[in-house]
Amino acid sequence: MTRPDIALSPEALAAQLRGKYGHLSGGSLLEALVSNELGGQIMLSSSFGAESAVLLDLVAQVDPTIPVIFLDTRRLFGETLRYQKTLADHLGLEDVRIVRPDDGVLQRLDPEDMLFASDPDKCCEIRKVAPLDKILTKMGNLGFKAWITGRKNFQSDTRSAMPSIEADADFIKINPLADWSSDDIKQAYLAKNLPPHPLVADGFKSLGCMPCTVRVAEGADARSGRWAGRTKSECGIHISRSAASSPIN
């Protein structure tokens, strides 16, 4: 296995890997990167949401020991928590790491669990961004260099030009499904008979925290059910950590 040059910046390393593997996607991209470059240095974050089973299945086929980070914000649907266990067992994922927000921070900043209504950005910061930042820092210190995500170009304007391999502040982000369409996702579910999230059949096409997720009308943009009625479209975890990080006051 060829190890990436540790002296390279994330931007330079991402460019180098795109030059080698940018023509690949899906399982082919993951297999090449894990086998040739990043074995033992790559992790995955997953919401275990409406479309998550496709990427998790690809990862399990390549290497079921790849660490999977699951953010339990303490405001998720009960169905999501149960689905996480069901899907991890079904796919044989061997290293699911459940990360939760700091109880002291929640008690201080959101004691009534209502921050989502007055300041959804702050709510996402303390329940998602800060806990993930903490585990990513820990993983980085352990030598991890790459972070697999399930983002796709069709999901939003902010993701429309996203490449399959990109740089973050401290990691290379691998987006194996970047160029996949909604129909590609549906076909993958059917081809592998993957268990769907139980709320999808009830009209929830994109799943996040319970207070900020609503059903989506047939034919509407799937992510329109996230933070409905607000201009907000991202929780913040995929904004560069160097740009997004701020102290929690």
pLDDT per residue as tens digits for the range 187-205:
999 999 999 999 999 988 8
Predicted confidence (pLDDT) at residue 46 exceeds the cutoff of 80: yes
For the domain covering 10-195, report its CATH number.
3.40.50.620
Is residue 106 within 8 A of residue 126, CB to CB? The reply is yes
Higher pLDDT, 16 or 246: 16
Instruction: Say how far apart CA 246 and CA 249 lie, in whole Å.
Output: 9
Instruction: Say how far apart CA 249 and CA 233 lie, in whole Å.
Output: 23
What per-residue confidence (pLDDT) applies to 158? Answer: 65
State yes or no: is 235 an active-site residue. yes
Whole-number Cα distances in Å, 39 to 6, 35, 43, 151, 178 = 14, 6, 10, 21, 21
What per-residue confidence (pLDDT) applies to 245? Answer: 44
> If you search the block for the tokens 């090449």, which residue do you land on?
32
Is residue 94 within 8 A of residue 190, CB to CB? The reply is no
What per-residue confidence (pLDDT) applies to 137? Answer: 92
Q: If you ran DSSP here, which 8-state letter would residue 173 be given? A: E
Q: What is the pLDDT of residues 109-120, one digit of tens each?
A: 999 999 999 999
Average pLDDT for residues 63-70, to the nearest whole number?
97
Q: Which of 124, 209, 212, 235 is catalytic?
A: 235
What per-residue confidence (pLDDT) applies to 5? Answer: 57
Give the number of other Cβ atoms within 10 Å of residue 39's Cβ: 15
Instruction: Say how far apart CA 42 and CA 233 lie, in whole Å.
Output: 27
pTM (2 d.p.): 0.87
Q: Which H/E stretch holds residue 97?
A: strand 96-99
Is residue 44 within 8 A of residue 69, CB to CB? The reply is yes
Amino acid residing at 103: D
What per-residue confidence (pLDDT) applies to 47? Answer: 93
Average pLDDT for residues 1-8, to the nearest whole number?
61
Is residue 249 within 8 A of residue 108, CB to CB? The reply is no
Three-state SS at 98: strand
Predicted confidence (pLDDT) at residue 249 exceeds the cutoff of 50: no
Dihedrals phi, psi of 73, to nearest 5 degrees: -75, -5
Q: Which of 172, 144, 137 is nearest to 39 (CA)?
A: 144
Higher pLDDT, 157 or 162: 162
Q: What is the pLDDT of residues 222-243, one digit of tens each?
A: 777 787 778 777 777 766 554 4
- Sequence spans of domains, the chain: 10-195
